[in-house]
């Protein structure tokens, strides 16, 4: 005890002074270490903590951008994207009993085994069950409330006009990118670019602050086409009638604005439903009016005759010896369906004489004829920018033999697409200027390229108007209340290098003649119901389209309403 008591005063004396100093130094070192670490974390190497901190409250969210709408020239929608939901599963999170799966399979229209194989495939962590569901089915899937089955918003494109404009508009794929037609050609304009932005969320997940756009979304632009919904419908309806009633393989029609070169309608039959492409054949997706080439036949004659008129070789009343229907060039014979002794140049057009046309062509140098054809837009693209447009074939004049020059004058040995052919007729509808084609709405009148003089064109118009008279090849192309003009074509088809007895019947014309507003080209491929002449197969469709379209566009009459003459029983026929 004594020892303990006596020991007390000695404690401080016994502790050496260095211990306090050492402790102090150690604590100081620790403090400095902490400070350094603090400075290091907060000041020098602060990204890591910043990131961790941000991750607690800031989120980057995707801002979707929709694809632009395609409308007709009056703003009527032709293609609209609207959000739809797709159902997807995260296989490792799915918890569902058999009854739920059965219900799900009924809603989605899939078999249970198929669904099971997908949602229990744990090797993947994202699997689509069904894309682009209608809203009512989406509600039912939500009601099932199966963990691990989720929805994702996507866009789906709808085409209210359906099959009428199907090939022209084309369509988009699953991810709403253009795949065919104008959807593909206008992809740059139409496509939206999704953006993202950083936001600050509170603990309930509400966005409380905008921390700035990382990438601003770019919405797709709306595009107004040159098409007129009404005219397009009329054109498609009459084309369909013409193809079906003539039991033809297919048909196409092009309607152009004669003043601006805008495409008012472009239709093909057979067509497909762009809103449901499950049973669509590749054949019906083809935009024949621009992608297919054919030999135009007699619709080419006006360009031959106009070239000769322009060169001063002939006048409309020049008499041509048509050799009683048979004429041989270089050992090959050219025939006329209606043998005549002699015809004036105007009658060569009116009655579509091959011999007359061949003789006129042979009176010109090949280069001159070639130049006129080429200036009229043959052998080059129409400038519609349509994907897959065929440019057509116009061989170099140096390679022409006389027989080729003769047959080319009536449209054999040259190939065109229908849009090209329609465009070439803007020359006659427009005082001699070839207009550029546009699929988009044009605000300003485009300037054309002069091909023929006004005098030549005026003479040609008179001749083309005589084609639809009682003595011409196409009285069925007449329209009540309007003067029309045009040219028929009935061309043999080429198969493996030989001409066969299958035909392409066509009619290209314009109206009203006093002040042309529309150029319409109708082409029917392989009509197979007793008649195959352009004047009988294509001209009636032309007449119906022009009549209805001029009414729809409110174009004043330029002829009395009783101008349609009773058609003779035997319409003048022409071949080629």
Partner 1 sequence: MLPSSHGLNILLLFAVVGCALGLVTSQHKARKLFVELGKEKDLAQQMEVEWGQLQLEQSTWATPRRIGEVAERRLQMQTPGIGQIQFIRIEPDGQTKYQP
* Binding interface with partner 1 (CB under 8 A): 69, 76-77, 80-83, 158, 160-162, 164, 202, 206-210, 229-230, 233-234, 237, 480-481, 556-557, 560-562, 564
Structure tokens at 372: 């006129």
* Coil vs helix vs strand at 534: helix
- Helix axis angle, 301-310 relative to 366-375, nearest 10°? 120
Beta bridge partners of 492: 503
CB 271 to partner 1: min, Å: 13
CB 168 to partner 1: min, Å: 16
- Nearer to partner 1 by Cβ, of 36 and 216: the residue is 216
CB 80 to partner 1: min, Å: 5
User: If you ran DSSP here, which 8-state letter would residue 40 be given?
Assistant: I
CB 206 to partner 1: min, Å: 5
Which candidate in 298, 384, 409, 506 is catalytic? 298
- Nearer to partner 1 by Cβ, of 65 and 189: the residue is 65
- Nearer to partner 1 by Cβ, of 394 and 564: the residue is 564
Rounded to 5 degrees, φ, ψ at 476 are -75, -5
Handedness of CA 220, 226, 229, 235 (dihedral sign): negative
**447: alpha, beta or left, given left = phi > 0 and alpha = psi -120 to 50?**
beta
All residues at 6 or more sequence positions from 542 whose CB lies less than 8 Å from its CB, including other chains = 474, 477, 484, 486, 507, 509, 520, 522
Rounded to 5 degrees, φ, ψ at 364 are -110, 155
- Nearer to partner 1 by Cβ, of 220 and 392: the residue is 220
- Nearer to partner 1 by Cβ, of 82 and 528: the residue is 82
**CA distance linking residue 505 with residue 534, whole number of Å:** 4
In the chain the first and final C-alpha atoms are separated, in Å, by 141
Tell the burial category of 345 from Cβ atoms under 10 Å away from its Cβ (0-12, 13-18, 19+).
Answer: buried
| Side-chain-side CA neighbours of residue 194 (13 Å) | 10
- Picking from 258, 188, 265, 268, the residue whose alpha carbon sits closest to that of residue 225 is 265
CB pairs under 8 A, 24+ apart, for 177-185?
180/285, 180/387, 181/287, 181/386, 181/387, 182/70, 182/225, 182/386, 182/439, 183/70, 183/79, 183/157, 184/387, 185/385, 185/386, 185/387, 185/439
284 is catalytic: no
**CA distance linking residue 51 with residue 58, whole number of Å:** 9
| Largest interatomic CA distance in the chain | 161
CB 141 to partner 1: min, Å: 19
- Nearer to partner 1 by Cβ, of 93 and 209: the residue is 209
**Helical H runs in 153-245?**
166-169, 181-185, 187-190, 229-245
- Nearer to partner 1 by Cβ, of 219 and 249: the residue is 219
CB 231 to partner 1: min, Å: 9
Residues noted as catalytic: 298
């Amino acid at each position: 005890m004594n020892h303990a008591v006596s020991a007390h005063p000695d404690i401080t004396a016994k502790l050496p002074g260095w211990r306090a100093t050492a402790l102090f130094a150690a604590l100081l070192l620790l403090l400095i270490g902490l400070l350094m670490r603090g400075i290091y974390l907060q000041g020098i190497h602060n990204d890591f903590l910043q990131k961790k901190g941000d991750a607690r409250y800031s989120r980057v969210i995707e801002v979707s951008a929709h694809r632009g709408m395609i409308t007709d020239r009056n703003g009527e929608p032709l293609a609209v994207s609207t959000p739809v939901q797709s159902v997807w599963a995260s296989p490792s999170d799915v918890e569902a009993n058999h009854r739920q799966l059965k219900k799900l399979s009924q809603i989605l229209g899939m078999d249970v085994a198929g669904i099971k194989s997908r949602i229990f495939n744990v090797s993947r962590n994202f699997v689509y069950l069904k894309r682009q569901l209608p809203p009512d089915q989406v509600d039912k899937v939500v009601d099932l409330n199966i963990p691990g089955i989720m929805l994702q918003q996507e866009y789906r494109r709808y085409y209210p006009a359906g099959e009428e404009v199907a090939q022209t508009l084309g369509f988009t794929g699953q991810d709403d990118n253009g795949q065919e037609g104008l959807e593909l050609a206008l992809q740059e304009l139409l496509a939206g670019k999704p953006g993202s932005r950083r936001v600050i969320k509170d603990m309930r997940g509400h966005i409380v602050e905008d921390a700035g756009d990382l990438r601003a979304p770019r919405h797709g632009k709306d595009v107004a086409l040159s098409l007129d919904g009404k005219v397009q419908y009329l054109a498609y309806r009459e084309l369909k009638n013409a193809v079906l009633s003539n039991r033809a393989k297919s048909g196409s029609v092009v309607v152009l604005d004669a003043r601006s070169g805008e495409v008012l309608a472009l239709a093909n039959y057979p067509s497909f439903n762009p809103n449901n492409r499950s049973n669509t054949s590749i054949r019906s997706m083809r935009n024949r009016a621009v992608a297919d080439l054919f030999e135009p036949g007699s619709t080419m004659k006006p360009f031959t005759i106009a070239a000769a008129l322009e060169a001063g070789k002939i006048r409309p009343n020049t008499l041509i010896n048509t050799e009683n229907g048979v004429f041989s060039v270089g050992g090959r014979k050219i025939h006329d369906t209606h043998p005549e002794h002699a015809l004036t140049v105007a009658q060569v057009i009116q009655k579509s004489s091959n011999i007359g046309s061949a003789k006129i062509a042979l009176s010109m140098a090949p280069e001159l004829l070639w130049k006129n054809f080429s200036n009229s837009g043959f052998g080059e693209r129409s400038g519609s920018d349509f994907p897959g447009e065929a440019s057509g074939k116009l061989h170099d004049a140096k390679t022409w033999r006389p027989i080729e020059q003769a047959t080319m004058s009536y449209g054999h040995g040259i190939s065109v697409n229908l849009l090209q052919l329609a465009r070439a007729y803007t020359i006659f509808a427009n005082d001699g200027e070839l207009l550029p084609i546009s699929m988009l709405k044009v605000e300003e009148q485009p300037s054309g390229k002069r091909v023929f003089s006004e005098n030549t064109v005026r003479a040609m118009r008179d001749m083309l108007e005589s084609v639809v008279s009682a003595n011409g090849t196409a009285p069925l192309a007449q329209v009540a209340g309007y003067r029309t003009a045009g040219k028929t074509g009935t061309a043999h088809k080429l198969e493996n290098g030989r001409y066969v007895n299958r035909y392409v019947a066509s009619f290209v014309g314009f109206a009203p003649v006093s002040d042309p507003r529309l150029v319409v080209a109708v082409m029917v491929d392989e009509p197979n119901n007793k008649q195959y002449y352009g004047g009988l197969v294509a001209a009636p469709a032309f007449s119906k389209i022009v009549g209805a379209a001029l009414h729809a566009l409110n174009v004043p009459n330029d002829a009395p309403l009783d101008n349609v003459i009773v058609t003779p029983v035997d319409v003048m026929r022409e071949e080629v």
